[in-house]
C-alpha cells in the first residue's frame, strides 16, 4: 500500500535516492539543489543507507567522482543547479561519451550572468546536446517517480547513458505537496541491483575508460551514442509501463490535457503546466476549446510522436523558459517545429513565447492571453509575430 506523505520536490528526490541506496553520492551545494545532498547526507549519517557520500570542492569534482565510481562498477548519483551544471560541462560529455549511467537531479535555475538564483530552464537546456537523457517534472510526485525510473532507463544494456531529472527550482523544489511514496522493498525490487557487464575493477575482463580516441574510432563511438539515445525511447516506455502496473501512475513522452476536441494548444514544460491546466479548466467552462501538451521527455526528443499529437490543432503556442539567442525561437519551439516539418504534420500555425526568465512570475492571465491569441489565429487570423516574449518590460 502506498505511503501518503507531504514533501517538497527536493525532499522527494532525496527520499527516492535513499530508497535506491546508491553506492556513491558526490555533491557540492548550490541553490536551489542544496537540500538534496543535505537531506541525503543525514540519511548517511543516520546509517539509513550504505552510500559513500563524498562532499567535494566543486561541481566539476562531483561529476568527476561520479564518473570514477560508475566506471569502477558502482551506482552513482548527484544533484546540481545552474552554474553548478555549467561547471560540470566538461564532465557531462565525458560521462555520456564513456556510456556511464549516472543519474543526476537537476533543479532548474537561471544560468548566470547576471547572477540570479531563481528558476528558468537555461541550465538544462544549455546541456541538451551533451548526450544526457532529460526527464522533466511538473510536481514533486513526478520528480520522485522520474528518479525511480531513471536508473532502469540509464542502466538498460541497450541504453547505458546518464539521465538528468529536472524540476523547477523553488517552485517545485521547495514547495510542499501531497505525494505517494512506494515502500522501500518495492523500490528495491523495481530498481534492482546494478550489475554492469564491463567495469574497471573486474580483474577477469580488464578494460580502459576514457582512452585517447582518434578519428579511427571516435566517429563510430559517437554513432553508437546516438543509437543508444534512439534505443532509450523504447526503454522509457517499457519502464513507464512497468511503473504504471506497480503504482497506477501513467507516464509517456508527454501528457495531453483536454486535447481531444481542442482547436488550439499550448506546449509547456515543468511546473508551469500546472498553471496552464488551471487556465484550460477555466476557459473550458467558458466554452473555449483549448488544450495542453506537457512534454516529460526532452532527450531523446519524441519527434514523430509529438508531431502527430500536434497535427490536429489549428494553432499551437510553445512556451520556453529559456532563450536560445538565435533570433529564431526558444529551444523547445525549434525542436517542435523541426519535428513537425520533418514528419509531415501540416495544419497548425506555430508561435513561440519566451517567459519567466530569471524567475519572473508567469500568471494565469499571461497564459489566458496566449490562449486568446491562439484562438484569434485559429479564427482564422494572421500570425503577426512568431517569436515573442511575455511578461517582460519591452
Q: What is the C-alpha separation between 136 and 269, in angstroms, rounded?
A: 7
Instruction: Report which DSSP code applies to 255.
Output: E
- Do 225 and 121 fall within a single domain? yes
Q: What is the C-alpha separation between 266 and 310, in angstroms, rounded?
A: 10
Cα 54 from chain centre: 24
Return the ∠ at Cα 298 (arms to 390 and 248), rounded to 5°: 105
- Do 10 and 141 fall within a single domain? yes
Q: Does residue 14 lie in a domain region?
A: yes
* Residue/partner pairs of 112-115 with CB below 8 Å, 24 or more apart: 112/82, 112/83
Q: What is the C-alpha separation between 79 and 88, in angstroms, rounded?
A: 11
User: Which of 229, 247, 265 is at the close of a domain?
Assistant: 247
Cβ contacts of residue 367 below 8 Å, gap of 6+? 266, 272, 275, 276, 279
Cβ contacts of residue 380 below 8 Å, gap of 6+? 314
User: Tell me, what's the pLDDT at 242?
Assistant: 98
- Do 222 and 299 fall within a single domain? no
- Do 304 and 243 fall within a single domain? no
Q: What is the C-alpha separation between 200 and 208, in angstroms, rounded?
A: 7
User: Tell me, what's the pLDDT at 345?
Assistant: 65
- Structural contact between residues 109 and 118, judged by C-beta atoms closer than 8 angstroms: yes
Q: What is the C-alpha separation between 267 and 276, in angstroms, rounded?
A: 9
- Do 80 and 210 fall within a single domain? yes
- Do 64 and 31 fall within a single domain? yes
Q: SS3 for 197?
A: coil
To the nearest 10°, report the CA torsion of 30, 174, 122, 351: 180
- Do 172 and 262 fall within a single domain? no
Q: Does residue 109 lie in a domain region?
A: yes
Place of cell 547513458: 161
Task: Give the Å distances, CA to CA, from 139 to 57, 176, 239, 250, 288.
Answer: 30, 10, 20, 14, 26
CATH number at residue 35: 3.40.50.970
- Do 239 and 282 fall within a single domain? no
Q: Does residue 64 lie in a domain region?
A: yes
Cβ contacts of residue 98 below 8 Å, gap of 6+? 67, 71, 209, 210
- Do 229 and 318 fall within a single domain? no
CATH number at residue 296: 3.40.50.920
Read off φ and ψ for residue 384, nearest 5 degrees.
-75, -40
- Do 228 and 115 fall within a single domain? yes
Q: Does residue 113 lie in a domain region?
A: yes
Q: What is the DSSP string of 254-276?
A: EEEES-TT-SEEEE--TTHHHHH
Q: How many separate domains does the chain show?
A: 2
Q: Does residue 180 lie in a domain region?
A: yes
User: Which of 212, 227, 247 is at the close of a domain?
Assistant: 247
Domain enclosing residue 264, as ranges? 255-389
pLDDT, tens digit only, all 394 positions of the chain: 689 999 999 999 999 999 999 999 999 999 999 999 999 999 999 999 999 999 999 999 999 999 999 999 999 999 999 999 999 999 999 999 999 999 999 999 999 989 999 999 999 999 999 999 999 999 999 999 999 999 999 999 999 999 999 999 999 999 999 999 999 999 999 999 999 999 999 999 999 888 899 999 999 999 999 999 999 999 999 999 999 999 999 999 999 999 999 999 999 999 999 999 999 999 999 999 999 999 999 999 999 999 999 999 999 999 999 999 999 999 999 999 999 999 876 779 999 999 999 999 999 999 999 999 999 999 988 899 999 999 999 8
Q: What is the C-alpha separation between 386 and 369, in angstroms, rounded?
A: 15
Q: Does residue 297 lie in a domain region?
A: yes
Question: What's the chain's Rg over C-alpha atoms?
Answer: 21
Q: Does residue 164 lie in a domain region?
A: yes
- Do 47 and 122 fall within a single domain? yes
Q: Does residue 394 lie in a domain region?
A: no
Q: What is the C-alpha separation between 9 and 306, in angstroms, rounded?
A: 27
Q: Within 10 Å of residue 226's Cβ, how many Cβ atoms?
A: 12
β 297-299/254-257 pair status: unpaired
Task: Give the Å distances, CA to CA, from 294 to 186, 267, 318, 339.
Answer: 28, 6, 10, 16
- Do 180 and 229 fall within a single domain? yes
User: Tell me, what's the pLDDT at 347?
Assistant: 77
User: Which of 226, 247, 268 is at the close of a domain?
Assistant: 247
- Structural contact between residues 111 and 122, judged by C-beta atoms closer than 8 angstroms: yes
Amino acid at each position: 500500500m502506498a505511503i501518503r506523505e507531504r514533501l517538497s520536490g527536493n525532499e522527494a528526490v532525496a527520499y527516492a535516492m535513499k530508497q535506491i541506496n546508491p553506492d556513491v553520492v558526490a555533491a557540492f551545494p548550490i541553490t536551489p539543489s542544496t537540500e538534496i545532498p543535505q537531506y541525503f547526507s543525514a540519511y548517511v549519517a543516520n546509517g539509513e543507507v550504505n552510500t559513500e557520500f563524498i562532499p567535494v570542492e566543486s561541481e566539476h569534482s562531483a561529476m568527476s567522482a561520479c564518473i570514477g565510481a560508475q566506471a569502477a562498477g558502482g551506482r552513482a548519483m548527484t544533484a546540481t543547479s545552474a552554474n553548478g551544471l555549467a561547471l560540470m560541462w566538461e564532465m557531462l560529455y565525458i560521462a555520456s561519451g564513456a556510456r556511464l549511467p549516472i543519474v543526476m537531479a537537476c533543479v532548474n535555475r537561471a544560468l548566470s550572468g547576471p547572477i540570479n538564483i531563481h528558476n528558468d530552464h537555461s541550465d538544462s537546456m544549455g546541456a541538451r546536446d551533451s548526450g544526457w537523457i532529460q526527464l522533466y517534472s511538473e510536481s514533486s510526485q513526478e520528480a520522485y517517480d522520474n528518479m525511480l525510473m531513471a536508473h532502469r532507463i540509464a542502466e538498460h544494456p541497450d541504453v547505458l547513458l546518464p539521465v538528468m531529472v529536472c524540476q523547477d527550482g523553488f517552485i517545485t523544489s521547495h514547495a510542499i505537496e501531497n505525494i505517494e511514496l512506494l515502500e522501500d522493498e518495492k523500490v528495491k525490487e523495481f530498481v534492482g541491483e546494478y550489475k554492469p557487464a564491463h567495469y574497471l575493477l573486474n580483474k577477469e575482463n580488464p578494460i580502459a575508460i576514457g582512452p585517447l580516441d582518434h578519428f579511427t574510432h571516435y566517429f563510430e563511438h559517437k554513432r553508437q551514442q546516438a543509437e543508444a539515445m534512439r534505443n532509450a525511447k523504447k526503454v522509457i516506455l517499457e519502464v513507464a509501463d512497468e511503473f504504471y502496473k506497480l503504482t497506477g501512475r501513467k507516464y509517456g513522452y508527454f501528457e495531453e490535457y483536454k486535447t481531444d476536441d481542442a482547436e488550439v494548444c499550448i506546449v509547456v514544460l515543468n511546473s508551469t503546466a500546472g498553471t496552464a491546466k488551471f487556465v484550460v479548466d477555466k476557459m473550458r467552462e467558458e466554452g473555449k476549446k483549448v488544450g495542453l501538451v506537457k512534454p516529460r521527455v526532452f532527450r531523446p526528443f519524441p519527434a514523430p510522436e509529438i508531431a502527430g499529437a500536434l497535427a490536429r490543432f489549428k494553432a499551437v503556442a510553445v512556451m520556453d523558459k529559456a532563450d536560445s539567442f538565435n533570433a529564431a525561437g526558444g529551444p523547445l519551439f525549434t525542436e517542435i517545429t523541426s519535428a513537425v516539418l520533418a514528419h509531415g504534420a501540416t495544419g497548425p500555425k506555430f508561435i513561440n513565447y519566451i517567459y519567466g526568465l530569471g524567475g519572473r512570475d508567469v500568471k494565469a492571465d499571461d497564459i489566458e492571453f496566449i490562449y486568446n491569441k491562439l484562438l484569434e489565429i485559429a479564427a482564422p487570423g494572421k500570425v503577426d509575430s512568431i517569436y515573442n516574449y511575455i511578461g517582460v518590460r519591452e
